[in-house]
Structure 1
Amino acid sequence: MPPRIALGRRLSHCDSVTTLGVRPNFDDYSDEEQELIRRASTIYYPSSFYAELFDALGKKTFPSYHTYKIAQDKIKQTALFQIARIPHPRTRVFFGKRQKKRILDFFTLPLVAKVARGSSLGKGVFLIRTPDDLACYCLDHSPAYIQEYLPIDRDIRIVVIGAKARHAYWRMAPQGEFRTNVARGGTIDLSPVPREAISLAERTARVLRLDDVGLDLCEHNGQFLILEANMNYGREGFKHSGIDYGKMMEQLIHDGQI
């Protein structure tokens, strides 16, 4: 049986998986460790660097290389949502000073501005209320990733692992805060999530080939919208529901689902 090897620490509590760590040079791994990596049929949590290299060699990784490429890049996400006709808030990217000057030709205040790449846990998300707010954001961020503001006080987090939604819950924004992230003070509500929202999350993950992703959705004017996809999703929702994330992942690996 091929060894079960992970590089990143996400599965470090899984007894059936050997976690080696992510090392900057491949020859930092011992000869034995290098051979384990070569023999493994799947490399778990390889990091974006090694995921690209393993993909070039045709070696399977989990998460997929597509997940690494997309889930930390909101610009690519938005373009893919638009191409695939996945419902998404009206969003536009503005490059350079000339384009940024035209933001208010496309959007009205208030609006939401985000860091385009790499942010998670509610960091890098700004509610822009005034022209001065917008000028400050544009000064510090390039490109400008601008999204219409939706007056909501809750959203839905759906975690898709493999091909299925493994957990879904509501996130409630704290008083005076527009972000619902638990890391920003949001609270978890385990009221049932509509099947329509879960189906949209699973379809989005399937179409975009994302196999380990936290998808954020909201309901606006009677329609569910995908807000964004995040690889570095928190596990507070699993804990809140009494789900042992490590045991769940170990079972999915054992069953060949990931």
Structure 2
Amino acid sequence: MNLVSFNAYRSLGVPGVRYIKPEHLFREQALLRHADWVLFPETWQVNSLVYGLGARVFPALPGYHLGYDKIEMTRAFWTVCPAHVPETLILPPTETSLEAAEEQLGYPMVGKQPRNARGQGVFLLADRQALQAFAAREDRLYLQEYLPIDRDLRVVWLGDRVISAYWRHGAEGSFHNNVAQGGRIEFTDVPCAALELVERIATRLGLDHAGFDLARVHGHWYVLEFNLLFGNEALNQAGIRLGGFIHDWLRRQSDNDGPDNSPTPWPIAS
């Protein structure tokens, strides 16, 4: 396969890939037009690649269309798994909206900036003063019910399968469980029900590269979000290298009649 990537780090281990700098998109049009796959374009590049050059991109388009904004993502979740979405309000930053949020969600509640990741832009709002301060900074309010959890589950989906999953325990006294913010990783006792939920959501939405974050409250699973470009630190600790999985998925997509020789996923289910 003729593979071109705009992200050298995320393409590590993918055989035969050629890297070009994102800013050279228009300079390298001939190369891109003849590529079988273009890997890890930046969001601003996707429309030009797909609609202008007719390129096949990885990750797939749904990940870019939904993954860049938590509001768009949540609306998609409402269509495919509404029972597994925390109570969420998407409102204009008005006084009427604040009153509605207080009535429906109560305190504490969680405020999230729609276009942020790695635990950034997520705030625990304990009272009216905190809610007003959050609303003053935002063009749109994205507010969720507070879930009483001390850990969440990251499920890594690549191609058409789960390849890993692990718990993320928040540092003591921290509201965030993200590894990037000090979360502790645990690979044991991952429930199959969570993996099955991710499989259903990812398949319905047409995702082929995503790190899903889930929470369990009183035995019920909630999907919080997915990250198109998820962190690899935990996977590296487990000895999981994504390059082989990516290459095999692209090969299978290019030749659906070929045998399934994909790497064996790391054993995760309890």
User: Fold conserved (TM > 0.5)?
Assistant: yes
Q: Name the structure 2 match of 1:176.
A: 173
Deviation at 1:250, TM superposition (A): 4.1
Matched residue pairs, number? 251
User: Over aligned residue pairs, what C-alpha RMSD do you find?
Assistant: 2.0
Contact 2:98–2:132 (Cα < 8 Å) also in 1: no
Change (3 A) 1:24 1:75: farther
**More off after superposition, 204-213 vs 55-64:** 55-64
Find the aligned partners of 1:197 and 1:85 in 2 and give their Cα distance: 13
Q: Name the structure 1 match of 2:57.
A: 61
Find the aligned partners of 1:213 and 1:5 in 2 and give their Cα distance: 20
Q: 2:30 aligns with which of 31, 35, 39?
A: 35
Corresponding letter in the other structure for 1:41: D
Contact 1:16–1:250 (Cα < 8 Å) also in 2: no
**More off after superposition, 238-247 vs 200-209:** 238-247
Find the aligned partners of 1:136 and 1:128 in 2 and give their Cα distance: 9
With the length of structure 1 as denominator, give the TM-score of the two structures: 0.90
Q: 1:152 aligns with which of 141, 149, 152?
A: 149
Find the aligned partners of 1:232 and 1:45 in 2 and give their Cα distance: 9
Contact 1:120–1:232 (Cα < 8 Å) also in 2: no
Q: Name the structure 2 match of 1:110.
A: 108
Q: Name the structure 1 match of 2:184.
A: 187
Deviation at 1:209, TM superposition (A): 1.6
Change (3 A) 1:65 1:254: closer
Contact 2:158–2:245 (Cα < 8 Å) also in 1: no
Q: Deviations over 1:20-64 (max 9, x none)?
A: 12116513x3xxxx3221111221112212222233254321111
Deviation at 1:249, TM superposition (A): 3.4
With the length of structure 2 as denominator, give the TM-score of the two structures: 0.86
Deviation at 1:241, TM superposition (A): 1.1
Change (3 A) 1:254 1:41: closer
Q: Deviations over 1:88-123 (max 9, x none)?
A: 111011113244333212210001110012x11100
Change (3 A) 1:180 1:224: same
Unaligned runs of 5+ in 2: 255-261, 263-270
Find the aligned partners of 1:24 and 1:98 in 2 and give their Cα distance: 46
Find the aligned partners of 2:6 and 2:74 in 1 and give their Cα distance: 29
Q: Deviations over 1:140-177 (max 9, x none)?
A: 12211100001100110001111111111111111111
Find the aligned partners of 1:187 and 1:132 in 2 and give their Cα distance: 31
Q: Name the structure 1 match of 2:265.
A: none
**More off after superposition, 227-236 vs 51-60:** 51-60
Q: Does residue 133 of structure 2 align to residue 136 of structure 1? A: yes
Deviation at 1:201, TM superposition (A): 0.7
Corresponding letter in the other structure for 1:16: G
Q: Name the structure 2 match of 1:83.
A: 79
Change (3 A) 1:116 1:24: farther
Q: Does residue 203 of structure 2 align to residue 215 of structure 1? A: no
Q: Name the structure 1 match of 2:164.
A: 167
Percent same amino acid at aligned positions?
A: 30
Corresponding letter in the other structure for 1:22: P
Contact 2:155–2:166 (Cα < 8 Å) also in 1: yes
Q: Name the structure 2 match of 1:17.
A: 17
